[in-house]
Chains A and B, each alone.
Chain A
Amino acid sequence: MLGLDKKDTSLLIIVAILTLLAPFILNPFPTGSAMAQFNAGYPDLMQRFVIFGIFAIGFNILFGLTGYLSFGHAAFLGVGSYSAVWMFKLLSYNVIPAIALSVVVAALFSLLIGYVSLRRSGIYFSILTLAFAQMSFALAYSVLSNPKFNLTNGETGLQVYADDPQIFHRDSLPDMPHLFGLSMRSTYKLDIGAWSFDFNAGYYLCAVIMMVMFYLAIRIFRSPFGMMLRAVKSNQQRMNYTGLNPRPYTLAAFVISGMYAGLAGGLMAAMDPLAGAERMQWTASGEVVLMTILGGAGTLIGPVLGAGFIKYFENIFSKINDNILHQWFSFLPDGIEDFMVFIVHPFIGKGWHLTLGILFMLVVIFLPGGLVEGGQRLGKWIRNRGKGATDAKTKQEPAE
């Protein structure tokens, strides 16, 4: 279907079902129950899942296929956000021109940075991209924000003001980002018994775009171009002596992943019409690296899983506080309860980065292939167990 083989088609269908049903799947606990804090089905968080999913899918086209590790991709994300907000300021709150411009500007920007950075490989490439991203951050934070020429609005961040031109804005349209009149914030609440589910327009726009971008990524992975990118990672020497020029291949991959990042940045602004320089900081670049590696670099679904995993735990762990801990451990004798809270305390709230770090280390050490490898091992284990119990004769399994 759609030019994909059976396996890829089923993967795409599974992803489509999961994203479309996410408001149900992510809200398994009744509202008001003690477990409700583990629910993730509210619009803001669901939007972040798919937007960072897009970011990571694009990053994986560069890092997963060619092995070039960029530490500067947040720059493209930030550029995308700024472009989108400018479109809101100048034209109107319609998200289509905003998203389109964010992709185009990110493409141009990544072409420039990629052209220079790809003159080196390995660690030098990573450092060059990092340097560029930090320069972009400095530009956005201060240089391009002065009274004469204010492109980024510095520390405050770029936002839409009442006296902005917004030449296509009409009074009938919502005063916030919208898709031809449909506000990105409009949410339909469905209450079933004790449960409550949110269906948010912004989330569904991002989800549909993510599915399209995921589909494109599959096509790229399976194409001759994708094969060349894997060849770049495997042996550039052989490529050179086979009449192939690795440079334009890596540059194309860099620009494509930059466009994915720009799209993600544009969508962020479309959900919340604000762009700040902190979006370009190196920590943001590092985050997408973590997502990709955690999920499984070079696999199709890995980056999406990694993005979801990190954003979920960021949200849940950072919300847990000492009161909640005391509730959890209340079954223990007082002294031990306090002790447990004392032990767990550094890993929650603001300390959730510590938890993330530990999870990341565990995955990298025990599952170098990321969550995808974990899933594969689990699947194999279950299948083998099932087989061993029912049919001892068919021991020979085709190698995978």
Chain B
Amino acid sequence: MSDVILEARNIHKAYRMGAAQVSVLKGVDLKVNAGEFLAVIGASGSGKSTLLHLFGGLDRADQGSVLFQGKDLTRLGMGGLNRFRNRDAGFVFQFYHLLDELNILENVLVPVMAGCSVGAWLSCRAQARIKAQDLLGRMGLKDRLAHKPYQLSGGERQRVAIARALINDPVLLLADEPTGNLDSATGNSILEVFEQLNRDGQTIVMVTHDARIAHQATRTIQLVDGKIRQGLSEPNLS
């Protein structure tokens, strides 16, 4: 399990706030191995989301590079980047970000539809539906397919979001505080879903500011002052 899927090399990222320049990441080096469940912890505002956005190709670093399976994301064109976001990385957000107008099943199918033309969609629709239903079944939402997001609880919505992130079989699952908006019991159940996925071989990078949750991961790193501190790196240390 030493295949490196994702590698960050000396990433710098700063935001301009009016006249001031706020440096958020100041030289992050990191390797994510295949099959790993990596937890990124850090105080609020320490740059965790920023880092995850760079991993997911949602933003570009000011300096340094992000390599996905050896390819530099910062050098991909728009087309390549969209393909990466669509096929290779799946994103789970703190606030679920489901589309209100679509039902649960349609929400899960969005990444499939996004990646193909009308013709291609018509030919692969049936298959994609079966797959989405299967995923939602695994999330315990078999009977909620036709429901709208607002009819679901927070935990259920997050499960839908996870199913959506997984629909295109991404190599990398990125989660930004997926339990941050949930009570602890529900949060734990979501965490179990991630653990189960990881056990089945899914590579996961999860951001959280909750150190307790981080203990479930195979490896934990901490973002402090824009850099990585390897303090909590061994699992089951507590």
Question: Are both chains from one complex?
Answer: no
